[in-house]
Amino acid sequence: MTPRFWAVGTFAVLLVALIGFAAVAVPWHRAPAPRADQLAALGRLPAEQVARSRAFHAALRPGSYAGMALGLLAVLLLGLTPLGARLVEFAGRPFGDHWLARAVLGGLLVVLVTELLTLPLAAWRHTIVVRYGISTQTWGGWSVDLLKSFGVGAILGALVLAGFFTVTHFAPRWWWAFGAAGAAGLVVLLSFVLPVVVEPVFNRFTPMSDGPLRTELLQLAARDGVPVKDVLIADASRRTRAVNAYVSGLGPTRRIVVYDTMLAEATPGEIVSVTAHELGHAKDNDVLTGTIMGALGAAVAVVALYLLGSWPWLIRLAGVDSIAEPRAIGLLLAVTTIAGLISGPAQSFVSRRIEARADVHALELTADAQTFEAMQRRLGTVNLSDPDPPAWEHAMFASHPSTVQRMAAARAWARGDR
Ligand SMILES: [Zn+2]
């Protein structure tokens, strides 16, 4: 009974658990409304608005895909050639090549190099988002946000790198077992703790003052059986004109958050509609569903990395001795990036089905398909989302049904098609 034997068994069990859980927890039957209804919805949108959002996305596309391609190329170069290993050695040199210095500083350096390479394309995208009036950020504000997210990423990254390579260092044969458990635990921790810790880094929240809207939102939540502690307003207008609302926190800490942009742009009825959608996520425990799938997926990924590590060709390409040593960070990054690209469409598909269920929840809770449709039109208009994006792009990346799909769903619900 070698560690490898146990790893193959664990991999199979975790994979079956992931597939089994997804099979029962994901609302697979929430398919989009018929295409004819979607086209009818598209026809109800002002032609000039459709043209403007299409022009916006056409302008963004080159920068987005070039950024993706460049990022992929960079991690492949760092991971499938000895370049990544050299970078890690370089970072550890001032510290006597200590494994922990290589792990933390080397890892951060490898990630930083790929981030810096794609930075000009991110800046280009920012100019387009500003030109179309979505972002209200100056270069100063944009840079501060960028540094903040680098900071948050560096702290998290350092913890993960130190944790992972401490395990591989002290348990060279069984690291995959501890690593899988640790990765699953980390996903759970991040999905419940991170929003609470990170939200205040980027936004300020103030309680919504007493008034009819606050009362209506709290009553809506109570009627839905989803108690919330407070209704907060986020100062999103500091960086964007986009509108949004969400529900965060669990049990006694649950709160409704409304962007200040939403208060300025949308009618109270539309804000109620968006909130009803968000309450649907809380009621159906969608965060928990996502967390369980994420935790199982992360554990599967760690065991898969271990099994891949016994492939001599891969190890030789990266110029390392083992996939579990800090010098293999580039290789780990390359493999996880490819795995992310492959699993991305499946994750988006699952997300769209879950979002469609929350839409139906909003329709049932408010029993107001007309306002729901008006809200979708508003979200699409203000956020300049392509109401009916190219099918392949939608399949690859869209986390939500498209605007026309959501409008069509409201119509289908109103005529009793449930
Ligand atoms: Zn949602």
Predicted confidence at residue 239, as pLDDT, reads 84
Distance 412 CA to ligand 1 centre (A): 19
Provide the β-strand partners of residue 207.
Answer: 232
Average pLDDT over residues 368-372: 96
CA of 288 to the centre of ligand 1 (A): 14
- Measured CA to CA, the distance from residue 329 to residue 99 in angstroms comes to 12
Q: 231, 215 in Cβ contact below 8 A? A: no
User: Measured in angstroms, how far is the CA atom of residue 133 from the centroid of ligand 1?
Assistant: 24
The H helix count followed by the E strand count for the chain is: 17, 4
Query: 286 C-alpha vs ligand 1 centroid, how far in Å?
Result: 9
Predicted pLDDT of residue 201? 84
> 55 C-alpha vs ligand 1 centroid, how far in Å?
26
Protein residues within 5 Å, CB atom, of ion ligand 1: 355, 358
Please determine, for residue 357, whether its predicted confidence score (pLDDT) is greater than 80.
Answer: yes
Q: DSSP assignment, residue 135? A: B
Query: Which pLDDT score, from 0 to 100, does residue 192 have?
Result: 81
As given in the structure block, the two tokens for residue 343 are: 């699993």
Q: What are the backbone angles phi and psi of residue 256, rounded to the nearest 5°?
A: -95, 130
Q: How far is the CA of 37 from the centre of ligand 1 (A)?
A: 21
User: In the sheet that 205-207 helps form, which strands lie side by side, from edge to edge?
Assistant: 205-207, 230-234, 255-259, 245-248
pLDDT digit string (tens) for 67-79? 999 999 999 999 9
Residue 63 C-alpha to ligand 1 middle, in angstroms? 27
H-only helix segments in 93-174: 99-101, 107-131, 139-170
pLDDT at residue 229, rounded to an integer: 87
Cα-to-centroid distance, 348 and ligand 1 (Å): 13
Expressed in angstroms and rounded, the spacing between residue 282 Cα and the centre of ligand 1 is 10
Rounded to the nearest angstrom, the distance between the alpha carbon of 11 and the centre of ligand 1 is 31
pLDDT tens profile 376-410: 998 888 888 899 999 999 999 999 999 999 999 99
Ligand 1 center–CA 326 separation, angstroms: 39
Give the Å distance between the CA of 144 and the centre of ligand 1: 28
Q: How far, in Å, is the centroid of ligand 1 from the Cα of 354?
A: 8
> What pLDDT is recorded for position 134?
87
Q: Alpha-carbon distance 110 to 71, whole Å?
A: 12
pLDDT value at 197 more than 90? no
Phi then psi for 417, rounded to 5 degrees? -85, 85
Provide the whole-model pTM. 0.90
- Determine the distance separating the centroid of ligand 1 and the alpha carbon of 123, expressed in angstroms: 28
CA of 130 to the centre of ligand 1 (A): 25
Distance 216 CA to ligand 1 centre (A): 20
Answer whether residue 250 shows pLDDT above 90.
Answer: no
Q: In the prediction, which pLDDT does 141 show? A: 92
Q: What is the mean pLDDT of the segment spanning 185-195?
A: 86
Please report the pLDDT score of residue 182 as a whole number: 95
Give the E-state strand segments of 171-287 in sequence order. Answer: 205-207, 230-234, 245-248, 255-259
DSSP state of 34: P
Alpha-carbon dihedral 57, 62, 64, 66, rounded to 10 degrees: 170
What are the tokens at 69? Answer: 């391609």
Give the residue from 21, 61, 127, 76 showing the smallest Cα distance to 396.
61
CA distances from 132 to 64, 262, 359, 371, 393 (A): 16, 18, 28, 26, 21
Burial 332-367 (b: 16+ CB within 10 A, else e): bbbbbbebeeeeeeeebbbbbbbbbbbbbbbbebbe
Q: Measured in angstroms, how far is the CA atom of residue 33 from the centroid of ligand 1?
A: 17
pLDDT at 258: 92
Asked if 250 and 283 touch (Cβ cutoff 8 Å), the reply is no
10 Å CB burial of residue 210 (0-12, 13-18, 19+) is exposed
pLDDT, tens digit, for every residue of 334-347? 999 999 999 999 99
Q: How far apart are CA 282 and CA 278, in angstroms?
A: 7
User: Ligand 1 mean position to 367 CA, how many Å?
Assistant: 18
| pLDDT above 90 for 198 | no
Query: Distance from the CA of 314 to the center of ligand 1, in angstroms?
Result: 40
- The pLDDT tens digits for 358-367 are 999 999 999 9
Query: Do 108 and 161 contact (CB within 8 A), yes or no?
Result: yes
**d(CA 277, ligand 1 centre) in Å:** 6
Alpha carbon of 405 to ligand 1 centroid (Å) = 14
Helix or strand (DSSP H, E) at 308: helix 286-308
